[in-house]
Amino acid sequence: MACIKLWRNIAAAGMSLFLLAINCYAQDQPQDHSCTVNAAGEFVNPFGKDGNNFNSGWGIQAGGGFAVLSPAEPGRGRSLYITANYIYERLNATSMALSAANVTSANSAHVGFSAVTLDPTVRFPVNLQVGLYLSGGFGWLRRGVGFNGPNPATLTQSSSPTLEKLAANSGVFDLGGGINFGLSHRGGLMSYAEVRVYRGVAINSGTTLLPLSVGIRW
């Protein structure tokens, strides 16, 4: 019995040391690096004037940046990044808006939004695998509307279904936040979910977009 008890104690001590080693290994591996890149798919809802004219749609997001402030210890304290972000969203016009536009021969219409913004980003670690972040900034927005329909190739020398395109460029503000989930104890690779608001100014002041993003970040 004494021998069995001894081996139980040895096994328990060994397991404790093993778990401690794993814990120390994880704590030595920060999720955040000095540089960051990301890519995501988006579901986007329009609001305001554009919300009355266009349906919800899909888009893409990509970005990257670098850290200007990092905590002394991994997972302890805030990090500050300067990031640049790009989005492209495509939404279809509602039937009511298409009728109101009264474009001859058009049977559908769409809008494409492209934006590039510069966004300071603050990351708040919850633990070594999970972190929250907030970001916001200013940049450039292009809003382009296209009307689609039968296009006589004999006159246009093109088989494109787009009859007419109208585009406008302006500034845009954005503000958002999200959550990072570490995918490896080695650190670095993360999945993330994010919500963000884009608000156009000047000629695009009727544009307010709410993209919901899910993607991968390093």
Cβ atoms within 10 Å, residue 39: 15
Instruction: Write the DSSP symbol of residue 49.
Output: H
Helix (H) / strand (E) containing 96: helix 95-101
Residue 199, Cα to own-chain centre: how many angstroms? 16
Structure tokens at 63: 């970005």
With beta carbons less than 8 A apart as the criterion, state whether 72 and 104 touch. Answer: no
Residue 166: the pLDDT is 85
pTM of the model: 0.78
Per-position b or e across 47-58, b if 16+ CB within 10 A of its CB: eeebbebbeebe
pLDDT value, residue 59: 97
pLDDT given for residue 163 in this prediction: 61
pLDDT of residue 77: 77
Q: For the chain, which residues score pLDDT lower than 50?
A: 2-7, 10, 13-14, 16-29, 154-157
Closest CA to 79 of 45, 36, 23: 36
Residues 10-14: contacts with CB within 8 Å, 24+ apart?
Answer: none
DSSP 71: -
**Cα(148)–Cα(151) distance, integer angstroms:** 8
Q: DSSP code of 204?
A: G
